[in-house]
Amino acid sequence: MERSTTPDTASEKPNPSHHGTGAVQMRIKNANSHHDRLSQSKSMILSENVKVTEPVNRHRRNHSQHNLTLADIISTQDHTVVEKEGYLLKAKIADGGKKLRKNWSTSWIVLTARKMEFYKESKQPALANLKPGYKPECVDLCGARIEWTSEKSSRKNVFQITTVSGNEFLLQSDIDFLILDWFHAIKNAIDRLPKERSCTSRNLEFKLRRSSSIELLNSLDTESKEPKPEHRKSLIFRLNYSASDTNDRSRVKSRLKKFISRRPSLKTLQEKGIIKDQIFGSHLHLVCEHEKSTVPQFVRLCIKAVEKRGLDVDGIYRVSGNLATIQKLRFVVNQEEKLNLDDSQWEDIHVVTGALKMFFRELPEPLFPYCFFEQFVEAIKIQDNTTRIKSIRSLVKKLPKPNYDTMKILFEHLKKIAAKESVNLMSTQSLGIVFGPTLLRPEKETGNMAVHMLYQNQIVELMLSEYSKIFGSEED
């Protein structure tokens, strides 16, 4: 190490900017030399891994703006003490509010009290051995938000960091305790920092000390997310555009209000055929009124198809059909398209039976109206069989015409199914289990649902077993 031969004119000045890295700068200056501005400096780095090979220019202006090594920059700020570092999967999904395509990559992450840095190196980066001009991606944590997310990625253990400038990052690790440790470390760092306004003020003060006026204007433009005005004309254009944009929004609102106030009623749209009445999900009496009948045409078509090619099918009404094909059939019926159940696409008879059950299940009010539910339950509880049948018959006769006629045709059809029990294995009891909850249910579930289901099944089973007595023209 060199020292001046003139003790009175040579002095040792430790550089405060090297306080963090243990660097000791010794400046040699000869007062008798006319090369005063070309003084030399040497640095001694105590760290084994960090070596500064380039000379540092000590000109006062340059010292504050450029020609500093990475170690010099880091050591000048107290908040760059590394709190945590390690590997994580990282994906940047937004830059300044603009959405980006999500690409996961492994990054070496360095967390300090104020920011995070992402390095692309596959190994832990040594600060002094970085390539010339390399700058890690830096994230200012001041005013940032951190939260767990399961919607932004199918991976597990993912949390998101959103900065005040509109940048969004996803961080992930399959190791539970590792990602949890990172989450708390970053959250604690964010919580210790001042709020967004304080951060902006501190950044502005720092830039005023170290930046020229041009750099400050550029940075302010970036932080406000506004394009940099290159001349006065561009600023005037933006102001005019904002005013016209506000006027456009007002005009759109006014037009929407007029459109809503003048829109036609539902009845008018139905009369013009723009909105058609749905078959599935509509009240039974509305479907019948629309078709000018007391039994929906769809019910008649399904019963006819099943009796034509499904009476001998094993598990008819119990086996489920393909749900996608059933929904397709449902769509065709709702569009009032001409329905031909003999078409090859409805070849599976279980699709037809599934659609028929869906029709009854989606009735807003079941085939047995809500107001009759408790009365049918009380009737089935009667111990004397003759009295029980008379009570059920009396209730059936009181049903509205569409309900009674549809019920009579349906139960007559199911009676034919039960008559083929030896082939299709569907007894009256089996049919009661299938159709009980579909045709009969309370408006509000109260009490024991299992008990209600038992009564529902028994009512359907009794009406099938005693069909002639309940639906006959005269009492036996």
**Could you report the per-residue pLDDT of 330-355, keeping only the tens digit for each?**
999 988 778 899 999 999 999 999 99
Q: What percent of the chain has pLDDT over 90?
A: 38
Same domain, residue pair 184 and 295? no
Report CA torsion sign: 433, 438, 443, 449: positive
Instruction: Kindly indicate the confidence band of residue 476, based on its pLDDT and cuts at 50, 70 and 90.
Output: very low
d(CA 348, CA 328): 13
E strands of 96-192, at which residues? 98-99, 105-111, 115-119, 137-140, 145-148, 158-162, 168-172
d(CA 352, CA 346): 7
Measured in degrees and rounded to the nearest 5, phi and psi for residue 126 equal -95, 125
Same domain, residue pair 288 and 182? no
Residue that finishes a domain, picked among 155, 170, 192: 192
Same domain, residue pair 414 and 310? yes
DSSP structure string for 61-73: HHHHHS---HHHH
In a domain, 392, yes or no: yes
In a domain, 349, yes or no: yes
Instruction: Kindly indicate the confidence band of residue 304, based on its pLDDT and cuts at 50, 70 and 90.
Output: very high
Using the 8-state DSSP alphabet, how is residue 151 labeled?
S
Same domain, residue pair 171 and 314? no
Q: Among 109-118, 241-250, 374-383, which is the least confidently predicted range?
A: 241-250
- Residue whose C-alpha is closest to residue 149's, from 171, 173, 181: 171
Residue whose entry in the numeric block shows the structure tokens 């700068």: 25
d(CA 159, CA 1): 51
The secondary structure of the chain in percent helix, strand, coil, rounded to multiples of 5, reads 50, 10, 40
Residue whose entry in the numeric block shows the structure tokens 């555009």: 241
- Over residues 81-110, the pLDDT tens digits come to 888 888 899 999 998 888 888 888 888 889
Neighbouring C-beta atoms of residue 133, cutoff 10 Å: 5
**C-alpha distances in Å from residue 308, one per residue of 129, 199, 217, 304, 342:** 85, 79, 84, 6, 10
Does 124 score more than 60 pLDDT?
no
Instruction: Kindly indicate the confidence band of residue 472, based on its pLDDT and cuts at 50, 70 and 90.
Output: confident
Q: What is the mean pLDDT of the chain?
A: 75
Neighbouring C-beta atoms of residue 303, cutoff 10 Å: 21
- Rounded mean pLDDT, 170-196: 86
- Rounded mean pLDDT, 156-172: 91
Which CATH number is 179's domain given?
2.30.29.30
Structure tokens at 185: 């470390």
- Residue whose C-alpha is closest to residue 20's, from 97, 96, 73, 86: 73
Residue that finishes a domain, picked among 176, 192, 208: 192
Report CA torsion sign: 422, 427, 430, 434: positive
Neighbouring C-beta atoms of residue 393, cutoff 10 Å: 19
Same domain, residue pair 173 and 320? no
In a domain, 77, yes or no: no
Count of domains for the chain = 2
Residue that finishes a domain, picked among 192, 212, 235: 192
| Residue ranges making up the domain that contains 427 | 284-471
Same domain, residue pair 317 and 444? yes
- Over residues 249-295, the pLDDT tens digits come to 788 888 887 777 777 776 676 666 655 668 899 999 999 998 899 99
Instruction: Choose between 145 and 202: higher pLDDT.
Output: 145
Coil, strand or helix at 92: strand
In a domain, 58, yes or no: no
Same domain, residue pair 162 and 310? no
Same domain, residue pair 288 and 432? yes
In a domain, 253, yes or no: no
d(CA 40, CA 32): 15
AA letter at 279: I
Does 230 score more than 60 pLDDT?
no
Residue whose entry in the numeric block shows the structure tokens 């190490």: 1
Same domain, residue pair 182 and 288? no
In a domain, 262, yes or no: no
In a domain, 48, yes or no: no
d(CA 307, CA 300): 11
pLDDT at position 205: 46
Which CATH number is 361's domain given?
1.10.555.10
**In the chain, what's the furthest Cα-to-Cα distance?**
138
- Rounded mean pLDDT, 70-91: 66
- Residue whose C-alpha is closest to residue 371's, from 347, 399, 393: 399
Same domain, residue pair 452 and 344? yes
d(CA 311, CA 94): 62
Instruction: Choose between 372 and 152: higher pLDDT.
Output: 372
Same domain, residue pair 439 and 292? yes
AA letter at 288: C
> C-alpha angle 390/394/397, rounded to 5°?
140
pLDDT at position 293: 93
Q: Among 215-219, 272-276, 311-315, 355-359, which is the least confidently predicted range?
A: 215-219
d(CA 63, CA 56): 8
- Over residues 15-39, the pLDDT tens digits come to 444 444 444 344 434 444 444 444 3
pLDDT at position 267: 67
Instruction: Choose between 71 and 432: higher pLDDT.
Output: 432
> C-alpha angle 388/394/399, rounded to 5°?
130
In a domain, 175, yes or no: yes
User: How many Cα atoms within 13 Å fall on the side-chain side of residue 440?
Assistant: 26
pLDDT at position 474: 56
Same domain, residue pair 289 and 436? yes
Does 358 score more than 70 pLDDT?
yes
